[in-house]
Amino acid sequence: MTTLTPILPVKQNSIRMALVIARREIRDSFRDWRIILPIFLLTLAFPALMNFTARRAIAFADQYGAEIIATQLIPFLLLVVGFFPMSFSLIIALETFVGEKERNSLEPLLASPLTNTELYAGKMLAALAPPLTASYLGMLVYMFSLWTNLAWRPEPELIIQVMLLTTVQGVIMVAAAVVVSSQATSVRAANLLASFIIVPMALLIQFEAGALFWGNHAGLWWLIVGLGLTAVVLIRMGLYVFNREELLGRDIDQIRLGWMFQVYWRRLSGQGWSGPKPLRVRRFPRPLVWYKETFAIFPSLLQPIGMLLLAFGGAVLFGIWLAYQYTLPPEMQAELTGANMAANLEQYAFLLTALPLVIILQNVRVIALQALLGVFTFGVLAVLIFMLPWGVMAFLATQFYLAGQNPFQFLLAAFLPHAILEFPALLITTAAILRWQVVIIHPSPDHTLSENFLMRMADFTRIFLGVGLPLLITAAFVEAHVTTRVLQMIYG
């Protein structure tokens, strides 16, 4: 053997490294007939079939003078022709990390000088490039044959929209599938988890089909923007959660409720997470220490609070805009007076005793909904739910203004006394929810994804129990007993 002096390999350009990975994977895919044959069929045979379907549909609709229905079907079929080959990206992407792990080829790759980003980008590109190329080719074949057979020339806007939709859908599917693949313990587990991608995508296609059928191009542009943002979030999430450690270290995919509870309880009760060996868990934490720890979470809430304040501003502006768009008719405006409000309140005075409980339960229910729905939407629905009451409030105040009333007097009488407490309570609690739910996109590197998730959930519970709930209870009593009196005083 030749004796060679050890040389430290030089750092390569990141794009080049990602392309090395992508090229190998693509070459590998093109050597697998199980991938290449269906892609080939979907690129050539399927567009021909769709072309035949389009012609038959047009001929059929022509008999009844419903050409418009048939012509609206053509763009939808274009979308379908583009989507079918794209579905292969999901299969390739789902297999990408976990498949290599099962074939034991991942470890040498992880020991190479590749960075996580290079490896991740290379894998994504490899999963995306062949199906996307097949998609574009399929759409070209479909459009070309329609042009030759029916002289159908699509509008450039439609072509751009469908191509962008196909691309963005592909990126979303691949990004989500790569996340699944990097977190799953086996190909089987990854395939099972794929339903979380397939079902929303199927619904999305139906929605897009509806928009295309009705020719709602403006709506499609918004959809493309929304999907583009989702793709960015998913790619970012994939990059953050991609972790060499987890790829090789995780072998068991059972749910360990005991361990989950332990991590959650330690954080919630103030035991912290200081190592693998179970600490002696105190049954109940010391209140003062617990509150001190809870307030220590506050600095990390500043960023989500900032975002929520922006969302609050947006909700207020949207409420005002809506009020101008949908101004109440004069007869309804005439009824929109403080005096009417005070009179209405008097009718329901007997309910005041139970009102605080109703308000508390309502607010707790809303927070539970935010927590639940936010988990599946990376906090998006939690923010939207937070925005809702403030948007309604701004809408009503503006309607008062448009009816010739003083909107500030209305806000002072109907909202301010309890909102002083309720607003910070909802702001802080939603910020804790948001901080918890975006942890999937940006987890701390010191802990695993599940630990991060459970610990942030415990932080939210602390904030809710220690700060949010007491404030909401107080606000409910203020709303029932103080706000009503202020309203009576001002308008009564």
Partner 1 sequence: MIETENLGKVFDTFTAVQNLTLNVPAGQLLALLGPNGAGKTTTVRMIGAILKPTTGHARVNGYDVVTQADGVRRSIGLLTEQPGLYTRMSGLEYLEFYGRLYGIPDKETRARGKAMFERFYMAGAEDKRLGIYSKGMRQKVGLIRSMLHNPAVLLLDEPTSAMDPHSAKLVRDAILELRNDRRTVILCTHNLAEAELLADKIAIIKQGELVAQGTFAELKQQLLGQPQLEVRVDKPLNGQAKELDRLVTVESVHNDTIRYRTDNPDVTNPQLVRCLHGLGLGVISLQPVSQSLEQVYLRVIEEIEVNE
Question: Which residue ranges make up the site for partner 1 (CB under 8 A)?
Answer: 1-12, 17, 20, 24, 27-28, 31-32, 100, 103-108, 110-115, 244-245, 248-249, 256, 259, 275-278
CB of 107 to partner 1, least distance (A): 5
What whole-number distance in Å separates Cα of residue 121 and Cα of residue 125?
6
Residue type, 48: A
**What is the Cβ-side half-sphere exposure of residue 440, based on CA atoms within 13 angstroms?**
18
Residues 445, 319 contacting (CB under 8 angstroms): no
As measured in angstroms, the least distance from the Cβ of 256 to partner 1 is 8
Nearer to partner 1, 447 or 481 (CB): 447
Nearer to partner 1, 156 or 275 (CB): 275
> In the complex, what is the shortest distance from the CB of residue 273 to partner 1, in angstroms, rounded to a whole number?
11
Based on CB atoms, which residue is closest to partner 1, 105 or 206? Answer: 105
Residue placing its CB nearer to partner 1 in the complex, 106 or 171: 106
Q: Which is nearer to partner 1, 327 or 448 (CB)?
A: 448
| 204/246 with CB nearer partner 1 | 246
Q: Which residues, at least 6 apart from 442, have a Cβ–Cβ distance to it below 8 Å?
A: 236, 237, 240
If the CB atoms of residues 112 and 300 are measured against partner 1, the closer one turns out to be 112
Cβ distance to partner 1 smaller for residue 454 or 463: 454
Q: How far is the CB of 134 from partner 1 (least distance, A)?
A: 20
Question: Pick from 341, 303, 327: which is nearest to 434 by CA?
Answer: 303
* CB closer to partner 1, 1 vs 218: 1
**Residue 104 CB, nearest approach to partner 1 (Å):** 3
Smallest distance, partner 1 to C-beta of residue 21, A: 8
C-beta closer to partner 1: residue 254 or 325: 254
Shortest Å distance, C-beta 88 to partner 1:
17
Rg (CA), the chain: 29
| CA 226 centroid distance within chain | 10
CB of 22 to partner 1, least distance (A): 12
Q: How far is the CB of 260 from partner 1 (least distance, A)?
A: 11
Least Å from the CB of residue 448 to partner 1: 8
User: Rounded to the nearest whole angstrom, what is the least distance from the CB of residue 2 to partner 1 in the complex?
Assistant: 7
Nearer to partner 1, 20 or 375 (CB): 20
